[in-house]
Amino acid sequence: MSKKELIEYIDNIEFGESVLVEYSSTDPIHLIFEGIAEFVRYKKLPLLIIDILDSFHVIIENLKIIGADTEKLEELPVIKGGGSIEVGKIIKKVDISTDPVVYINKFIQAVNEMYSKIPKIVVLILGGDKLSKLHGYDINVFELYIGRIAKNFLGNKARVGVYFANVDILPKEILSEWEEASTRVLAIRLCDNRLMIKVKKSPKIEDHEREFIIPIEDLSLLPKA
Q: Is residue 223 part of a domain?
A: no
From CA 51, how far away is CA 181, in angstroms rounded? 20
Q: Tell the burial category of 46 from Cβ atoms under 10 Å away from its Cβ (0-12, 13-18, 19+).
A: middle
CATH number reported for the structural domain that contains residue 175 in this entry: 3.40.50.11570
Q: What is the pTM for the complete model shown?
A: 0.92
Residue 169 domain flag: yes
The DSSP string of 5-25 is HHHHHHHTPPTT-EEEEEE-T
Instruction: With respect to residue 121, please indicate whether it lies within any of the assigned structural domains.
Output: yes
Would you state the pLDDT for residue 225? Answer: 45
Q: Where are the alpha helices (DSSP H) in 12-117?
A: 29-42, 55-65, 100-117
Percentage of residues in the chain having pLDDT higher than 90: 65
State the total domains in the chain.
Answer: 1
Each of the 225 residues of the chain gets a pLDDT tens digit; together they read 677 899 999 999 999 999 999 999 999 999 999 999 999 999 999 999 999 999 999 999 999 999 999 999 999 999 999 999 999 999 999 999 888 888 888 998 999 999 889 989 999 999 988 887 776 667 777 777 776 777 778 888 999 999 999 999 988 888 998 999 999 999 999 988 889 999 999 999 999 999 999 887 776 665 654
- Is residue 16 classed exposed, middle or buried when 0-12, 13-18 and 19+ CB atoms within 10 A define those classes? middle
3-class DSSP state for residue 215?
A: strand
Instruction: Tell me, yes or no, whether 224 lies in a domain.
Output: no
- Establish if 225 belongs to a structural domain: no
Sheet holding 121-126, edge to edge: 89-94, 77-81, 47-52, 121-126, 159-166, 18-23, 184-191, 194-201, 211-215
Domain assignment of residue 173, yes or no: yes
Query: Is 94 inside any structural domain?
Result: yes
Check residue 136 and give its pLDDT.
67
The domain containing residue 188 runs over which residues?
A: 3-218
Q: How far is CA 185 from CA 109, 129, 178, 203, 209, in A?
A: 26, 15, 9, 10, 10
Classify residue 65: in a domain, yes or no.
yes
DSSP 58: H
What is the rounded CA–CA span in Å between residue 137 and residue 57? 24
The answer to whether the beta carbons of residues 50 and 111 sit under 8 Å apart is yes
